[in-house]
Chain A
């Protein structure tokens, strides 16, 4: 009963829609049917906008039928949108009770660009509350499950977006990455996840968790699809003061160039610090095989040391909670969202605020708000927040020194494959380790992505290869990723995603 259309890549769907071999409505309906059939098991979606999606698809079809050129290379293709980006008139909850039922009065810039490009937004995807988490177990609306093994986590915080791709509910998705929330779910679901250069995609309308780290980016099943989406959402936005005023790097051209399978002249650095204790042997073996493949493609592979990366996790878990304690002050029960105790005339604003925040936030959010409040408080500021900001400088210097000698850096995306649901729930530090390899790129603002590198030989679960590039050199990593993807698929007799078990109920 599954339509074959759900197995197509976004690039294939776009080509068929634009050639009028199939309509956008048919493609959209196929994915809506798939969501209906499997999302009861996966819980990737918090809200499905059936009517809005079909109406948008009809508009694309009408324009194409009238002989107009497609408004973008992805016009008519469906997409799943992480629920941290605002959508005018469509619920946006950030996975929190605090915003249950909230319908924003405006679209995020990313949302507006998707609409303008004729991309069909199927609905909003599940996530760790306010993007805080590494497993999508912290959503107020239930856990999202990994299509490879529904007893396991799909990664976090953007587990819904990546799971929707692996379950063939959508060919494209948008995530946001503060410490790895696009790349880590991409890695454990066998999909592609890209954190563009900080400032490369607008944060206007992205509900802020840690403003100096948050970055929206594309999720897809192939490198080329991610690149096509990257060019749709990227570029300068005057509504975001941190948006970089420069053209989007030519990532689609780079992906096409890379697909030719030649990496001669490309210098690849293997980060020495990302190996050893704490890394699952099967993850390391997959990584070593990937490095061999890059060498076989002609890349010049050397080992590089980034000594301060060992301190990145510590710096991140001071900086991100500090910024979150400030950003989440906006949830004050006054202007939008939940209010608890507001009907009791005996309670003042401060009490209503405290009761609301107690009821509306889950444990991970409270933990981080208090951690940030502590790190920023008088007497501790210099020892914690101030020191963490200095470590950030050291990490940026490590990257700069490495990029003096190599074009891209590579590492495993995550130290382990997807862990079991509940396995790390009571141990925050164990949970935080899931983002060990992804965090440095957020602290320094570099571009980074995860591309599937195979299945771990111990548990048969997906492993990701992380590729990092200097700021505004996103095209470099797309070239390397596309070349690697082609070579890996040829060597492994097909794409990893074709081996995901069918989750149809």
Chain B
């Protein structure tokens, strides 16, 4: 009995903004299940009193001097955009018609 179902994979795909095909749903459901069963052993050793490590080195914010300096030009920033209009990124509509 797989612990991760086809419907759960479809839900994950929606959360991750991935429009997967039916075939992919079947494939990923099987594979994710095998992978999750294999990696679940991490729960065997990590006791409550062990602090988690998110980073191998201490992470602190880094500030530079507050000095004006050139950044990317508008042309450079827009240069890789899939669509541009009036010197701005042109994006598909974000709100639905009913909104």
Contact = CB atoms under 8 A, between A and B. Distances in A.
Asked if A and B bind, the verdict is yes
Interface string A94-124: 0000000011111000000000000000000
Given A311-B42, A335-B81, A370-B32, A241 B19 contact: no
Interface string B3-20: 010001100111111111
Given A242-B57, A314-B39, A383-B43, A393 B18 contact: no
Contact of A387 (B36, B46, B64, B79): B46
Contacts of B50: 390, 393-394
Contact of B34 (A351, A373, A428, A443): A428
A282 interface: no
Interface residues of B, number: 59
Interface of A: 102-106, 198-199, 212, 238, 241-242, 244, 308, 311, 313-315, 317-318, 325, 329, 332-339, 341-342, 345, 347-355, 357-358, 361, 363, 366-367, 369-371, 373-374, 377, 383-384, 386-394, 396, 428-429, 432, 443-446, 471
A241 B59 contact: yes
Chain A contact residues, majority secondary structure: helix
Given A241-B62, A338-B82, A384 B42 contact: yes
Contacts of A314: 38-42
Interface of B: 4, 8-9, 12-21, 24, 27-28, 31-32, 34-36, 38-47, 50-57, 59-62, 64, 72, 76-77, 79-83, 89, 91-96
A337 B35 contact: no
Most chain A beta carbons < 10 A, residue from B15, B41, B57: B57
A366 B18 contact: yes
B52 A392 contact: yes
29 contacts: A198-B57, A212-B54, A212-B56, A238-B62, A242-B59, A313-B38, A314-B41, A317-B39, A325-B16, A329-B17, A334-B81, A334-B91, A335-B81, A336-B80, A336-B82, A349-B93, A353-B17, A357-B17, A370-B9, A371-B35, A373-B16, A374-B4, A374-B12, A390-B42, A390-B46, A390-B51, A390-B52, A392-B53, A396-B56
Contacts of A366: 13, 18, 20, 24, 28
Contact of B80 (A317, A335, A396): A335
Contacts, number: 184
Nearest to B60: A241
A381 to B, nearest CB: 11
Contact of A389 (B36, B54, B62, B89): B54
B80 A103 contact: yes
State the 5 A-B residue pairs at the shortest beta-carbon distance, nearest first: A445-B56, A389-B52, A390-B46, A339-B82, A336-B80
Nearest to B56: A445
Given A387-B43, A446-B56, 10 more contacts: A105-B77, A105-B79, A106-B72, A198-B57, A241-B62, A336-B81, A338-B82, A363-B27, A370-B9, A386-B52
B31 A318 contact: no
